[in-house]
Amino acid sequence: TSTPLVPASELSQDEVITLCAELIRFDTSNPTSDERACADWVAGRLAEAGIESELVESAPGRANVIARIAGADPERGALLVHGHLDVVPADASEWQVPPFSGEIRDGYLWGRGAIDMKDTVAVMIATARHFARTGTRPSRDLVLAFLADEEAGGKFGAHWLVEHRPDLFAGVTEAIGEGGGFSFAIDGTRRLYPIENAQRGMAWMELTATGRAGHGSSPNDENAVTDLAESLARIGRETFPIRLIEPVRALLEEAARLYGVEFDEDDIEGSLERLGPVSDFMQVVLRNSANPTMFDAGYQTNVIPGKATARVDGRFLPGHEQELIDT
């Protein structure tokens, strides 16, 4: 039989904070670092509590840790709980505290990954250790996955594991990962928990402009840098039209009903204003978007390069990928 779960409030907050701070101190910036040292540490913290895990490298240094906690009923579908160990890079000059210090200041834990998502990884580890210490047995198998490479698309993490080690996820019927759980107060007694369905797809693009190379002191009306910069400015300032897909329509209609306000499909902006805090959350699921994020050209100030390249992070609503590409 399963063991009644101890309320989360009785888990050690101090342990979660300590674990998170130590996780932050591993520089797992993607793509400039790897996850191996952090993955070894995670496996060690699980082993301390008697929890076996498997460390799987998809490439040198690109490490994933998988652990399975046996449930009382092996016939029930297993639940996968997954988090990623990598973080996006951090420029220390832009931080009030060193980004990989795990410093506690003014009542907050600071560092790259404190929110995305070493905080959740720390909760996963602390909960697993708590289960082991107290003999808590969940009603179904729990598969804990600590993954590599989420920030760059999962090539060395989730994608690789699904293709090469599907055995690690045998019996899994549901999964809980990053995101979700955000809620909004409707009134003093009720909260709204939005459920997202097929939010947006990802279309990362590389743009290349070619021109006439030359000396920086000479006029040049075929400057690749100028041409690409002008294009990027237009892309970055483009506001795509609202496209109300059915899952979003259902969410807005239900939110409006719960808040007791009118939902007018012909006046989406006005309807969002009436929904208060929900409106900020909804902006990203109403339109396509495209943001220039990287630019590379040239090798010396007084030389006009013959080529310039840039990267654009495009996101499209289901059914509207071609609209993004055409635009």
Task: Give the pLDDT confidence score for residue 180 in this predicted structure.
Answer: 63
Output the average pLDDT for the chain: 92
3-state secondary structure of 61: coil
H or E element that contains 214: strand 214-215
Determine the residue type at 170. A
CATH architecture label of 201-245+274-326:
2-Layer Sandwich (3.30)
Comparing C-alpha atoms, which of 320, 318, 319, 295 is closest to residue 305?
Answer: 295
Task: Give the pLDDT confidence score for residue 12 in this predicted structure.
Answer: 78
Confirm or reject CATH 2.40.420.20 for domain 8-176, answering yes or no. Answer: no
Contact 310/234 with Cβ under 8 angstroms? no
**Looking up tokens 């409707």, which residue turns up?**
186
Check whether 271 has a pLDDT greater than 80: yes
Check whether 208 has a pLDDT greater than 70: yes
Q: How far apart are alpha carbons 149 and 34 in whole angstroms?
A: 8
pLDDT in tens, 17-71: 999 999 999 999 999 999 999 999 999 999 999 999 999 999 999 999 999 999 9
Check whether 1 has a pLDDT greater than 60: no
Task: Give the pLDDT confidence score for residue 45 in this predicted structure.
Answer: 97
What percentage of the chain carries pLDDT values higher than 90?
83
Mean pLDDT within 134-144 = 94
Mean pLDDT within 2-31 = 81
Indicate the pLDDT class of residue 4, thresholds 50, 70 and 90.
low
Domain ranges of the chain: 8-176, 201-245+274-326
Mean pLDDT within 201-229 = 96
Counting other chains too, the contacts that 247-251 makes at CB distance below 8 Å and 24 or more residues apart are 247/196, 247/197, 247/198, 248/282, 248/285, 248/286, 251/194, 251/195, 251/282
Indicate the pLDDT class of residue 3, thresholds 50, 70 and 90.
low
Mean pLDDT within 96-121 = 95
What percentage of the chain carries pLDDT values higher than 70?
96
Higher pLDDT, 257 or 6: 257
3-state secondary structure of 69: strand
